[in-house]
């Protein structure tokens, strides 16, 4: 039996991909979300240089992508957070916890030397459709 793979190449209201990838891919009931940085979907520019504004925008973008495939944060089973400075961990953790409204998927947080477009935070997610 072959499992259907569906690529969502464009999600209304979400930033356009900055490379040859899809914002979301569904395989069976699993949905893989590409990493999002703090891009304003209208201008395709980073929303600011501070961790708070970029984290809020990242989560807005992820929420939009999830909604575009009929899901929400409650469907997320795994997140990976990439930070260029791990000293931002507590700030990102607070915003993330508030935005996921008590939902606690498995998660990793990794410090990296750089992110696309000069971003300071990127988050990717895996969700399960009901």
101: CATH:
3.30.1330.40
Q: How many domains does the chain have?
A: 1
pLDDT in tens, 48-74: 999 999 999 999 999 999 999 999 999
Q: How far apart are the first and last CA of the chain?
A: 21
Q: Reading across the β-sheet that carries 30-36, which strands appear in turn?
A: 5-8, 24-27, 30-36, 121-128, 76-83, 106-111
pLDDT at 1: 62
Mean pLDDT, range 87-116, rounded to an integer: 97
Range of the domain at 20: 5-128
pLDDT band of 18, cuts 50, 70, 90: confident
The burial class, CB within 10 Å (0-12 / 13-18 / 19+), for 48 is: middle
């Amino acid at each position: 039996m072959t499992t259907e793979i569906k690529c969502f190449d464009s999600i209304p209201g979400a930033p356009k991909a900055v490379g040859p990838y899809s914002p979301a891919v569904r395989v069976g009931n699993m949905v893989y979300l590409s990493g999002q940085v703090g891009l304003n979907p209208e201008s395709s520019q980073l929303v600011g240089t501070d961790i708070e504004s970029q984290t809020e925008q990242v989560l807005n973008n992820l929420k939009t992508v999830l909604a575009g495939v009929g899901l929400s944060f409650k469907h997320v089973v795994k997140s990976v957070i990439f930070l260029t400075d791990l000293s931002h961990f507590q700030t990102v953790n607070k915003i993330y916890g508030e935005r996921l409204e008590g939902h606690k998927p498995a998660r990793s947080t990794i410090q990296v030397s750089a992110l696309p477009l000069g971003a300071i935070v990127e988050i990717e997610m895996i969700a399960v459709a009901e």
